[in-house]
Structure 1
C-alpha cells in the first residue's frame, strides 16, 4: 500500500456503485489508502460495503463491458474500520476506512471529511477525489503517483474520463473551460473517441477547472488555499477551488490514467451526450451554487446571473417540467429544496 497517497469516495445511497469502484481500486497495480465517506445514506450502504470488504458479497458490475476476472482475485477480507466524524483527527489506520459523516453534507462537505482524515495521516501528500460511480483501469493509480512526482509545481490535475456505458467515448478530458459571463463550463474533448491522442500541455492549458469526478490535489495546495468550500452542496466547488489556487499552483493532466464514469448517477445530472433533463435536486443545487459562486467571486455580475436563471425557469415552464421549474424557482429566491418533490 502506498502510504503517501489517499483516494476519497463519497457515498449517498449508492452502495453498488461504491463497491464496484472499490473493486477496481483494490485490483489496481498500485493501492493507496482508500476512504469512503457515507453521507448518512440511511439505506444500509455502510453495512453492504462492509460485507463486501469482509468477503461476503460479490461485486455488482453494472455493465458487461466491465466484467473483470481480477475482482474475484482480490484478497478478502480487506482490513477496514468504520469511524465517525469525531475520529477524523487520528488519521487513517487501515487500507480501507468508512466514515459515517453524520448527515448529508453534499459533495464538498463529504469530500472534506475524507480530506480531514487523510490530512491527519502521516506522509500522505496526494489526495484523489473520485466519484463513487466510477471505475478505474489498473494502471491509473500508479500513473497518477508517478506523474505528480515528475511535476512538483502541480497543485491539482485531472484525468481522461470515459463514459462507463459507452467506453469508446470520452465524457470529457481533464476538466472544463469556464465562461465568467455565463457561469457555464464547457467540457474539454466532450464525446471524443477513447483512442484519440492528446497533447498533455495543450489539455492542461485549456483547463480552467478540473472535473470533480476525478480530481487530484496536493497537500501543499490544501495547506495553502484550504479544502473545498462546504457552502457548495453540489456544483461550482471545483471552479471555486481552482480560482483560489490559480495564482499559486499549476493545473496538470494525467494522460496515462483512465477513469470510467456512470455520469450523473449520484445527483441526477443531465448527460453530456444526451438531452436528458436534470433531476429537480440537480436543478436546485446547480442554480443555488451558481449564485453563491457569483456573490463570492463576481458580485458585479449578480444581475446577469439572476436574469440567466429566470430564463432557465421560463424554459422549464415552457417544456412542461413542473418539478424542475419548482426547484429552479426555489433556488433563485433562496428557498429550501422542496423535499416533497422527487429528487
Structure 2
C-alpha cells in the first residue's frame, strides 16, 4: 500500500519497523505526521499477529494530507529489526534518488514536535554528518535514556551517555560527536547508505547493528552526532521481554562486533583479561551464562561472522584460529565460574 499527498516535495523518509506493536503504533505514526517537514513514511511489518497493520492503515488513511507518501511493507515472518529496517531503507533509497536522509524510529518511540526539523537542519549545516541521534527520554520524561553512545574498550561494550540521568542535566544540552547513536531514533544520510551499505543483517534480530553501522561511517571519514534539539520518547526494549534472551543476544552481537579486535594477540589478550575481570568481579551468574551461550553462538556462526566483520580476503587460517581461540577461552572462563569446585563446601 502506498499513498502520496498531491504536490508534495519530500527530502526525508521515516522508516518504522513493527512487530505486534498495536499498543504503540498510533502514537508513533501520529508523532511523525505532526512534524512540520511532511516526511515520507515507510512501515515495515515483521509478520505481526495483532492488528498493528490495520491500525497503521487507518491512521495513514485518516491523515493522508499530512504525509509526503506512505507505504506499508508486510513481511511473512519476523526477520528482526536490522533486516526489517534494511527492507524499508532499500525501498526508500530506490523510490527517491534525491533523498537526503532516512530516520529510523522504533514502534514504541515517538517524536516530540520539531524533532525532524532539528535533524534536517543539523544535517544541512554539517555536510560530513553521516548519522544523527536524538535526546531520548524515558516515558516519565524525567530521566534520559540516551544522549549519544560510546564504546568501552577493550570489551567493546556499547554504552549510553546520560543513561538514567536527570533530563535537565546541562552537560547533555550541547551537540557533540559520539561513537554511535541508537537505532531507536537514528537519522542516516542517504549518501552514506548508498556508498557504505545498510545494516549488517547477521546482527538480527537486534543489538549492535547501529554501533557497527556508525563505526563504519566513522572509519570512512563521516561523523556521528548527538543532536539534543531532536527529542524522542522511547519505552525501550519492548521487543525483547525475555531478559535472558536479551542478555544473550546483546553479548552475542557484541562479540560479533568485536571480532576484528581478536586478530592481534595484544588486543585479544586485553579483551580476555577485561572479560575475565568482569566475569569474576561484576557479572551475576545469569550474565555469565549469557556470555557463555553467546560465545558458543558465535563459534557456531563463525564463518559467517568472520565474513561479515573481517572479510574472507582479509584473514588467513592462522587468523581464523586466533579468533576461534579467543571465543573458546572466553567460554572456558565462563564455565569455570558456573561449574562448582569439587572441593567447595568441604
TM-score calculated relative to the size of structure 1:
0.73
Q: Is the 8 A contact 1:306 1:332 kept in 2?
A: no
Match of 2:296 in 1: 333
Q: Would the alpha carbon gap of residues 79 and 13 (structure 1) be closer, same or farther in structure 2, given more than 3 Å must change?
A: farther
Alpha-carbon distance between aligned partners in 2 of 1:32 and 1:130, rounded to the nearest angstrom: 13
Q: Would the alpha carbon gap of residues 225 and 180 (structure 1) be closer, same or farther in structure 2, given more than 3 Å must change?
A: farther
Q: Is the 8 A contact 1:8 1:111 kept in 2?
A: yes
- State which of 188, 197, 206 in structure 2 corresponds to 1:226: 197
**Which runs of no fewer than 5 residues in structure 1 stay unpaired?**
55-75, 81-92, 269-277, 337-343
Q: Is the 8 A contact 1:183 1:290 kept in 2?
A: yes
Q: Would the alpha carbon gap of residues 168 and 217 (structure 1) be closer, same or farther in structure 2, given more than 3 Å must change?
A: same
Tell me by how many angstroms 1:42 deviates: 2.8
Q: Is the 8 A contact 1:6 1:126 kept in 2?
A: yes
Larger helix fraction of residues: 2
Alignment RMSD, CA only?
A: 3.1
Tell me by how many angstroms 1:236 deviates: 1.2
Is 1:78 aligned to 2:52, yes or no?
no
Tell me by how many angstroms 1:102 deviates: 3.0
Q: Is the 8 A contact 1:284 1:328 kept in 2?
A: yes
Is 1:106 aligned to 2:80, yes or no?
yes
Alpha-carbon distance between aligned partners in 1 of 2:239 and 2:281, rounded to the nearest angstrom: 24
Match of 1:254 in 2: 227
Alpha-carbon distance between aligned partners in 1 of 2:163 and 2:172, rounded to the nearest angstrom: 16
Q: Is the 8 A contact 1:109 1:230 kept in 2?
A: yes
**Which runs of no fewer than 5 residues in structure 2 stay unpaired?**
1-7, 301-346
- Counterpart secondary structure, 1:119: helix
Q: Is the 8 A contact 2:158 2:208 kept in 1?
A: no
Alpha-carbon distance between aligned partners in 1 of 2:105 and 2:63, rounded to the nearest angstrom: 23
**Which of 1 and 2 has greater Rg?**
2
Alpha-carbon distance between aligned partners in 2 of 1:318 and 1:193, rounded to the nearest angstrom: 27
- Counterpart secondary structure, 1:3: coil
- Counterpart secondary structure, 1:158: strand
Mean Cα deviation higher: 285-294 or 300-309: 300-309
Q: Is the 8 A contact 1:17 1:132 kept in 2?
A: yes
- State which of 184, 202, 206 in structure 2 corresponds to 1:213: 184
Match of 1:65 in 2: none
- State which of 227, 236, 248 in structure 1 corresponds to 2:208: 236
Tell me by how many angstroms 1:140 deviates: 1.0
Q: Is the 8 A contact 1:294 1:302 kept in 2?
A: no
- Counterpart secondary structure, 2:297: coil
Is 1:9 aligned to 2:16, yes or no?
yes
* Count of aligned pairs: 287
